[in-house]
Amino acid sequence: MQGYDASILLVSTGSMLSEKRSNPNRDSVHGFEVIDEIKFALEKECSHTVSCADILALAARDSTALLFIIASVFELYNVLTSGPSWEVPFGRRDSKGASLGGSNNNIPAPNKTFQTILTKFKLQGLDIVDLVALSDIYGKKLIDLIIVGNGLADFTLDQSYAAQLRTRCLKFGSDQNLFFLDFVTLTEFDNNYFKNLLASKRLLSSDRVLVTEPTINRVGEEICRELRAFRQAICQVHDQDGEHLFPDRSKRRDSKALQKNKLLIKTI
């Protein structure tokens, strides 16, 4: 809950409940086994040197480009664009605990009002530009239509898009009932997510907020017009994380468990 502190990797113990079990994370955060494999390989080569928090920070940057490499190998698309890159400073320390309550209370839900969402971003030291940029990043996610649907028609949606949703929405739940937030350029790191919103093609209630609030709409329109502005905003929000390193925290040898030995080892 404090940036890349790797608290989300911790499993529950007798005195601590894992953040993986929180409502925002339970059905949306995946890939923990990948971090475990990276941590295992690093510990084998240089034990107790690289923190889990640094691994997460690097993974966030490198996975942006990895998606497009995989797509290129399988020739899914003829034209692919990679995402931006940014410098990742080392020295993050792993959190000594998890906060299930903090995760439930501080991560914005997709049905919240604009002011609630913005307030939660500001509590993490982020601003309105960060909100727009990070919303666009999550445009590459698959969303379960059963989770986001409320059974009420939204007559402000583009009619052709609304028809697509109706054909996919089921009366009863299904694990396969998934839909891309950005359904136009699935494997390209671009600003089409926000272009879709401006064209009234949106899936979440929070998406609508991004284009109906005048202040945030101006930011979104700039990102929509200029891809470079979007890329710069992405780099800026990740650069801020490097300003919040925690020298009083430990490094974990196991990404899932707390360490009894709190000795701090020099980072790479």
Binding site membership for substrate: which residues? 108
Residue 143 parent element (H or E): strand 142-144
Query: From the annotation, which residues make up the binding site for Ca(2+)?
Result: 3, 5, 7, 19, 182, 185, 190
| 23 vs 108: CA distance, rounded Å | 11
CA distances from 49 to 41, 218, 246 (A): 12, 44, 15
Query: From the annotation, which residues make up the binding site?
Result: 3, 5, 7, 19, 108, 182, 185, 190
Quick one: tokens of 231?
A: 């890329």
Instruction: Residue count of the chain, please give it.
Output: 268
| Cα distance from N-terminal residue to C-terminal residue, the chain | 24
| 106 vs 1: CA distance, rounded Å | 8
Contact criterion met (CB below 8 Å) for 112 and 206: yes
Quick one: tokens of 116?
A: 């609630």
* Angle subtended by helix axes 52-73 and 32-45, to nearest 10: 120
